[in-house]
């Protein structure tokens, strides 16, 4: 009789550990999907804002943009370089090339997530915090 109780207890522990492992794996997949979607949304918003500067005559222009402070629970940095926008975080680096044949882009600068200011001086675009 005692052997049966030990076996039932062992089986219960095994099932519990399996359920916890499965839940943790699912939670990780959901977090990864959410992080990818947030990163893509930020890249898309920056791409749109840079392309919207095309309507501005040559010269100087600036625009403040409110971006999320974090992706998930992780801080991130935005880097503009050449014709590419990159989001850098502990999740890795995601980049997007701005392809607009009507404009020649020269992107530069870095900023942390949150409120940023996008500047345009002729064909040079830069980003700063705040």
> What residue segments make up the domains of the chain, in order of their start?
2-129
Distance CA 123, CA 88 (A): 24
The answer to whether the beta carbons of residues 76 and 88 sit under 8 Å apart is yes
Tell me, what DSSP letter sits at residue 53? G
The answer to whether the beta carbons of residues 96 and 52 sit under 8 Å apart is no
Distance CA 93, CA 110 (A): 14
- pTM score, two decimals? 0.72
Q: Which residue has the higher pLDDT, 31 or 106?
A: 106
pLDDT greater than 90 at residue 121: no
From the CB of residue 72, how many other CB atoms can be counted at a distance below 10 Å? 15
């Amino acid at each position: 009789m005692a052997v049966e109780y030990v076996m039932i207890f062992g089986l219960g522990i095994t099932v519990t550990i399996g359920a916890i492992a499965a839940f943790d794996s699912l939670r990780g997949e959901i977090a990864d999907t959410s992080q990818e979607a947030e990163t893509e949304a930020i890249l898309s918003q920056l791409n749109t804002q840079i392309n919207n500067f095309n309507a501005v005559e040559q010269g100087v222009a600036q625009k403040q943009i409110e971006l999320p402070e974090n992706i998930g629970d992780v801080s991130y940095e935005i880097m503009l370089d050449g014709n590419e926008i990159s989001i850098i975080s502990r999740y890795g680096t995601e980049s997007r090339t701005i392809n607009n044949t009507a404009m020649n882009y020269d992107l530069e600068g870095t900023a942390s997530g949150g409120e940023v200011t996008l500047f345009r001086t002729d064909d040079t675009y830069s980003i700063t915090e705040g």
